[in-house]
Structure 1
Amino acid sequence: MIRFDDVTKTYIRGQNPAVENLDIEFARGEFVFLVGASGSGKSTLMRMVLKETAPTSGTVHVAGKDLSRIPSWRVPALRRDIGMVFQDFRLLPSKTAYQNIEFALAVIGTPRKVVRRLVPEMLEMVGLEDKGRRLPHELSGGEQQRVAIARAYVNRPSILLADEPTGNLDPSTAEGILDLLAEINDRGTTVVMATHDRTAVDRMRRRVVEMVGGRVVRDDPEGTYESVAPVSVISGNLPDGAEDLEDREDQDRPTTDEAATDEDTTDVGATDERRPLIEPDADDLLDERDAHLREEDEAFAEALDDPEATR
């Protein structure tokens, strides 16, 4: 379903890669947690799945397609098969819950008869069948996230990416969102969720992939948030900020001067001076998608304001 073959992504020439030599596969129907400290490469991985950014080297395959071979004019069709859920919901504030879900259908020209059937089905699935006429500010945070999930899933995508979907929610509400994502996964959709939610990961006991410095350091089929792995940053086995694994290996090697003091030790040469990993923060990483979403929102609004496009 999703496969990375020796993928490296460098944003700024001369800086360490945001993702490096990534070889990993997510099978159809899996539920996978991506964990790791901020800057570990989780957001970059998701951006490459969405073809919002291209790898510097290597290939990314999604649903059997090599993304490097997909022309730009076919990218919207690719993204229609990938749902995306964000931590901050990203609902249109002037549109009701019903209309927010309707947008995802209107933009692809779904017939009104189908829209009138699908939107109520989605509202019922997320437990908001009686709140379709409410605006986002009239809904709780958990309800807003449920609307966002319904909007992402209404096209029945084969892949659902969730970037910290429980990050702004209280534990009880977060549990309900996890149950909803699990239900979507049970219906056959591959779910990849980036999270710092320890409780969610420990409760679900699904596949856990931990990233450190742009590399996968742990891949547990039924894992927990923390790990005894010595390279885990989130478990406290390494300090946050010590993301570059090669840096740590170099620190363990003797320098030229140290090697020279031991006649039985081969001279390994001076260690390379490396810059710390710099990966754009979440806001920077999503700037391109924000612009794309704003363009879509404007198109959606025009479609809904057109009497021929409304219910």
Structure 2
Amino acid sequence: MIRFDDVTKTYMRGQRPAVENLDIEFARGEFVFLVGASGSGKSTLMRMVLKEVTPTRGTVYVAGKDLSRIPSWKVPSLRRDIGMVFQDFRLLPSKTAYQNIEFALAVIGTPRKVVRRLVPEMLEMVGLEDKGKRLPHELSGGEQQRVAIARAYVNRPSILLADEPTGNLDPATAEGILDLLAEINERGTTVVMATHDQAAVDRMQRRVVEMVGGLVVRDEAGGTYETATPVSVISGHLPDDSAHRDELPLEDEALAGGPERPAAAQTSAPRSPESSSPEAAGSTETPAEDVLEEDLIDEREAQQTREEDLFVEDEAHAEDVQGDPR
């Protein structure tokens, strides 16, 4: 369903890769948690699946298609088969819950008869059948996220990507959102969820893929959030990965720390003489990783602006579809 073949992504020349030597596959119908500290490469992995960014090296396959061979004009068609759920919901504030879901169908020209059938089905599936006329600000955070999930799933995508979908929610509400994603997965959709939610990962006991500094350091079925893996950042075995490569590269830590390191970690680039020198250790310059994180934030903001502009441009088309007497 999703495969990365020796994929490396570097945003700026001279900086370390955001994702490096990535070889991993997510099968059809899997539910996978991506875990790792901020800046570990989780969002970059998802953005490559959406073809928002392209690899510097290597090949990404989605549904058997080599994304490097898909022309830009076919990307919208690709994304119709990939649902995306965000931490901040990204609902259209001037449209009701019903209209937010309807909009996802209207912009691709779905007939009104189909729209009138699918939207109520989605509202019922997410438990909001009596709140379709409410605007986003009239809904709780959990209800807004349910609308966002319904919008992402209304086209019945084969893949659903969720980037911190429970990050802004209280534990009880987050549990309900997790149950909803599990239900969608049971219907055959592959779910890949990036998260820092330890309770969610421990409760679900699904496949867990941990990333550190752009590398996959753990890939286990029925995993938990924390691990004995010596190169884990989230379990406290390494300092935050925004700086750990200069202070304690993966290969040095693995050799010093007992269990055999994962295959992905073996590909970590060795530390250069410059980076290991006393002068480099005492340098006060901004780490390249921090610059990279700022670049990613800027790119995310730019992407969100592009999406908002697209919504504004497409609203006229959506209104035409809604007003069609057929």
Structure 1 length normalisation: TM-score?
0.90
Q: For 2:297 and 2:72, how far apart are their aligned partners in 1?
A: 24
1:289 aligns with 2:303: yes
User: 1:280: which partner in 2?
Assistant: 293
1:109 is paired with a residue whose SS is: coil
> Residues 310 and 164 of structure 1: is their aligned pair in 2 closer, same or farther, counting only changes over 3 Å?
farther
Q: For 2:272 and 2:181, how far apart are their aligned partners in 1?
A: 50
1:302 aligns with 2:303: no
Q: CA deviation at 1:239?
A: 1.2
Q: For 1:244 and 1:25, how far apart are their aligned partners in 2?
A: 25
Q: For 1:162 and 1:289, how far apart are their aligned partners in 2?
A: 16
**Aligned 1:1-311 pairs, distance under 5 A:** 1-240=1-240, 241-244=242-245, 248=249, 271-273=273-275, 276-278=288-290, 279-280=292-293, 283-306=297-320, 308-309=323-324
User: 2:258: which partner in 1?
Assistant: none
Q: For 2:248 and 2:325, how far apart are their aligned partners in 1?
A: 58
> Residues 272 and 144 of structure 1: is their aligned pair in 2 closer, same or farther, counting only changes over 3 Å?
same
> Residues 285 and 191 of structure 1: is their aligned pair in 2 closer, same or farther, counting only changes over 3 Å?
farther
> Residues 191 and 243 of structure 1: is their aligned pair in 2 closer, same or farther, counting only changes over 3 Å?
farther
RMSD, aligned CA: 2.2
Identity %: 75
Q: For 1:297 and 1:147, how far apart are their aligned partners in 2?
A: 17
Q: CA deviation at 1:286?
A: 1.9
Q: CA deviation at 1:273?
A: 2.1
> Residues 76 and 270 of structure 1: is their aligned pair in 2 closer, same or farther, counting only changes over 3 Å?
closer
> Residues 269 and 29 of structure 1: is their aligned pair in 2 closer, same or farther, counting only changes over 3 Å?
closer
Q: For 1:248 and 1:37, how far apart are their aligned partners in 2?
A: 16
1:277 is paired with a residue whose SS is: helix
Output one character per residue of 1:101-121: Cα deviation in whole Å (capped at 9) or x when no partner: 011101100000000000000
Structure 1 stretch displaced more, 273-282 or 186-195: 273-282
Are the aligned partners of 1:210 and 1:217 in contact in 2 as well (CA < 8 Å)? Answer: yes
Are the aligned partners of 1:244 and 1:276 in contact in 2 as well (CA < 8 Å)? Answer: no
Equivalent residue letter for 1:6? D
Q: For 1:77 and 1:144, how far apart are their aligned partners in 2?
A: 26
Structure 2 length normalisation: TM-score?
0.86
Are the aligned partners of 1:11 and 1:17 in contact in 2 as well (CA < 8 Å)? Answer: yes
Q: For 2:163 and 2:138, how far apart are their aligned partners in 1?
A: 24
Are the aligned partners of 1:106 and 1:309 in contact in 2 as well (CA < 8 Å)? Answer: no
> Residues 216 and 85 of structure 1: is their aligned pair in 2 closer, same or farther, counting only changes over 3 Å?
same
Q: For 2:60 and 2:16, how far apart are their aligned partners in 1?
A: 20
Bigger CA radius of gyration = 1
User: 2:279: which partner in 1?
Assistant: none
Q: Mark the runs of 5 or more structure 2 residues left unpaired by the alignment.
A: 256-269, 277-286
Aligned residues: 297
Highest relative contact order (Cα 8 Å, sep 6+), 1 or 2? Answer: 1
Equivalent residue letter for 1:280? E
Q: CA deviation at 1:310?
A: 8.5
Q: For 2:33 and 2:271, how far apart are their aligned partners in 1?
A: 40
1:14 is paired with a residue whose SS is: coil
Are the aligned partners of 2:246 and 2:271 in contact in 1 as well (CA < 8 Å)? Answer: no
Q: For 1:43 and 1:169, how far apart are their aligned partners in 2?
A: 20
Are the aligned partners of 2:22 and 2:216 in contact in 1 as well (CA < 8 Å)? Answer: yes
Q: Mark the runs of 5 or more structure 1 residues left unpaired by the alignment.
A: 254-267
Output one character per residue of 1:252-294: Cα deviation in whole Å (capped at 9) or x when no partner: 79xxxxxxxxxxxxxx997352865343356334234313321
Output one character per residue of 1:225-244: Cα deviation in whole Å (capped at 9) or x when no partner: 00011000000111113443
Q: For 1:100 and 1:287, how far apart are their aligned partners in 2?
A: 21
> Residues 244 and 90 of structure 1: is their aligned pair in 2 closer, same or farther, counting only changes over 3 Å?
same
Q: CA deviation at 1:65?
A: 0.3
1:286 is paired with a residue whose SS is: helix
Are the aligned partners of 1:250 and 1:271 in contact in 2 as well (CA < 8 Å)? Answer: no
Are the aligned partners of 1:44 and 1:285 in contact in 2 as well (CA < 8 Å)? Answer: no
